[in-house]
């Protein structure tokens, strides 16, 4: 995957141009794993999930030129999740083994800000947070080296400050400073990615 950090407006503009193969390649690289995780969490097996992800991506590609970006009313991610939900419901409708699930899913209404979230939106929201966190972690890892990353990782594993200091031969203040630097950078990158890509 290329270094994929466009602004929201640039991302939407680039992928709306159906002739920009590079932008679509980046789009697929970025969103495919997220969509796949959402549809498998909704109950699709690997083979069906792969086909469904392809259908979602093709639907997005076809409909994106008509998508009107209104950040106050509908995030791109919300629209993408609606497309995903419809494709999964189509799978449930065509497969008798999922009849009970379709009955449950078909009672869900489209999400509106005042409504409680249907299951897909809860799934999609938690998976989005994980997806963005992983992308942010990969970027932050490349910006720190040596003891900073080791220190942050050890704290993340639940080690005490004494254990971290002993293992890395650090003073307590240094351990806290290193953890804070990495943690602050990670939190900032998560916020940036979430804002720019959802």
Residue 104, domain CATH = 1.10.1740.10
Do 131 and 153 fall into the same domain?
Answer: no
Q: Containing domain of residue 12, as a range?
A: 1-135
Percent of all residues in the chain with a pLDDT value above 70, rounded to a whole number = 74
How many other C-beta atoms are found inside a 10 Å radius of the C-beta of residue 135? 21
Do residues 88 and 42 touch, judged by C-beta distance below 8 A?
A: yes
Taking the CA of residue 16 as centre, how many other CA atoms within 13 Å lie in the half-sphere pointing to its CB? Answer: 12
Do 36 and 99 fall into the same domain?
Answer: yes
User: Residue 16 pLDDT > 80, yes or no?
Assistant: no
User: Residue 54 pLDDT > 90, yes or no?
Assistant: yes
What is the Cα–Cα distance from 76 to 69, expressed in whole angstroms? 7
Q: Is the pTM of this model over 0.75?
A: no
Task: Give, in degrees to the nearest 5, the angle at Cα 77 between 52 and 13.
Answer: 100
Phi, psi of 74 (to 5 degrees): -150, 120
Report, as an integer, the average pLDDT of 144-158.
87
User: Please, what is the average pLDDT of the chain?
Assistant: 77
Do 52 and 114 fall into the same domain?
Answer: yes
Do 43 and 10 fall into the same domain?
Answer: yes
C-alpha torsion 36→39→45→49, nearest 10: -50
Do 153 and 117 fall into the same domain?
Answer: no
The helix-helix angle for 76-94 and 119-141 (nearest 10°) equals 130
Do 155 and 58 fall into the same domain?
Answer: no
User: Residue 113 pLDDT > 80, yes or no?
Assistant: no
User: Residue 182 pLDDT > 80, yes or no?
Assistant: yes
pLDDT digits (tens, 9 = 90+) for 58-109: 888 888 777 776 666 667 788 888 899 888 888 877 765 545 555 556 555 5
Do 51 and 129 fall into the same domain?
Answer: yes
What pLDDT score does 111 carry?
Answer: 41
Do 104 and 160 fall into the same domain?
Answer: no
**Number of domains the chain is built from:** 2
Find which of 69-83, 125-139, 164-178 is predicted with most confidence, using mean pLDDT. Answer: 164-178
Do 111 and 179 fall into the same domain?
Answer: no
What is the Cα–Cα distance from 192 to 4, expressed in whole angstroms? 12
Do 163 and 116 fall into the same domain?
Answer: no
């Amino acid at each position: 995957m290329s270094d994929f950090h466009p602004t929201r407006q640039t991302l939407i503009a680039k992928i709306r141009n159906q002739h920009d193969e590079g932008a679509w390649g980046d789009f697929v690289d970025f969103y495919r794993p997220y969509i796949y995780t959402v549809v498998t969490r909704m109950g699709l097996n690997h083979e069906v999930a792969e086909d469904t992800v392809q259908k979602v991506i093709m639907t997005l590609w076809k409909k994106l030129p008509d998508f009107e970006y209104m950040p106050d009313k509908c995030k791109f991610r919300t629209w993408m999740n609606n497309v995903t939900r419809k494709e999964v419901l189509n799978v449930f409708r065509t497969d008798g083994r999922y009849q009970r699930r379709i009955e449950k899913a078909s009672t869900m209404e489209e999400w509106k800000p005042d409504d409680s979230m249907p299951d897909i939106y809860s799934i999609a929201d938690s998976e989005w947070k994980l997806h963005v966190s992983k992308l942010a972690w990969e970027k932050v890892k490349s910006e720190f080296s040596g003891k900073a990353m080791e220190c942050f990782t050890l704290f993340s594993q639940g080690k005490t400050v004494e254990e971290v200091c002993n293992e890395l031969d650090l003073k307590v203040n240094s351990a806290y400073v290193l953890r804070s630097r990495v943690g602050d950078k990670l939190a900032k990158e998560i916020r940036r990615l979430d804002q720019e890509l959802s």
